[in-house]
Copies of this chain bind each other. A is one copy, B any other.
Amino acid sequence: MPSPLILDGKQTAAQIREELKAANILRIASGQRPPLLVAVLVGNDGGSESYVSHKIKACSDVGFESRLIRFASDIRQDKLLSVVESLNNDAQVDGFIVQLPLPPQIDSQAINLAIAPSKDVDGFHPVNVGRMALGLPTFLPATPSGICELLRRNGIVTGGMHAVILGRSAIVGSPLAQLLARPGEPGNCTVTLCHSKTIGIKEHCLRADLLVAALGKPGFVTADMIKPGAVVVDVGTTRVKDHSRPSRFVLRGDVAFDQVAPLCRAITPVPGGVGPMTIASLLTNTWQAATTP
């Protein structure tokens, strides 16, 4: 078996950033201001800090404006709702995100519902979720659309594939199932959605032409679960303690890469696979928010 194609999210995301940067230069040259993304960060969870700082840096890389608004973890819900309301009404703000997870006193869905759909660059508001399901133009959720874009830009034709997705979350597994099943390319997959209640998950995985692992269980997918020649996408990014590193942790995917990769036609690494694509999709959505009338 030839060595697998590494689906290099870092490189593909860099390509997308170059395109956005070039388009943004033209936009500014025409006398318009650059897009503005605002990130709201509550508390100081290590993962959230890291995600948000990557998003802010990505904006800067492409010449978008960005603003980070921080709150202590004891912020009250009504205060956070009023922040959302003021961002909704601020004509300078093209799009904004409220980084998840939120502390327990906050009803995350209430915050989500308060975000103006036209500025919901995470694509989590019901209006945008529904528009995606109906195939209408909208902000696609960043991780699923990032995966589709990674496949597309690396020449993986999905039509006719049997895609098996592990994990039914509202932000990854469920919307990705819809995107891969719908008409078009990427798309036109027969899609099997597996989750914690699935019986015989190994047998399902063994039938996958395209296997997407989004469980958050480090090393869950092993070589004995892979159909030779499959395309494997690893969405897992669990922080596992590693005292040998300066950061004291290492990111581990859901796929046991070393044993799985030799069996694959193509595979994403962790880190450097889906993660950078997620951030690239957020930039694409921000661009769309700024440029769609």
Contacts and interface: CB of A to CB of B under 8 A. Distances in A.
Interface stretch (A17-25, A27-35, A191-199, A217-225): A191-199
Interface residues of A, number: 37
B126 A170 contact: no
A185 to B, nearest CB: 10
A140 to B, nearest CB: 13
Contacts of A88: none
A239 interface: no
A190 interface: yes
B109 A170 contact: no
Interface string A128-139: 111101111000
A109 B188 CA distance: 22
B109 A134 contact: yes
B133 A170 contact: yes
A56 B134 CA distance: 28
Contacts of A183: 197
- Central interface residue in A130, A183, A191, A194, by most chain B CB within 10 Å: A130
Given A126-B131, A127-B130, A190-B204, A197 B160 contact: yes
Contacts of A174: 133, 178, 181
A252 interface: no
Contact of A188 (B131, B178, B197): B197
A191 B192 contact: yes
Contacts of A170: 133-135
Contacts of A134: 109, 126, 129, 170
B190 A159 contact: no
Nearest to A164: B192
A203 B8 CA distance: 34
Given A133-B170, A135-B170, A181-B193, 14 more contacts: A126-B126, A126-B136, A127-B127, A129-B134, A130-B131, A130-B133, A168-B181, A174-B181, A190-B192, A190-B193, A190-B195, A190-B204, A191-B192, A192-B192
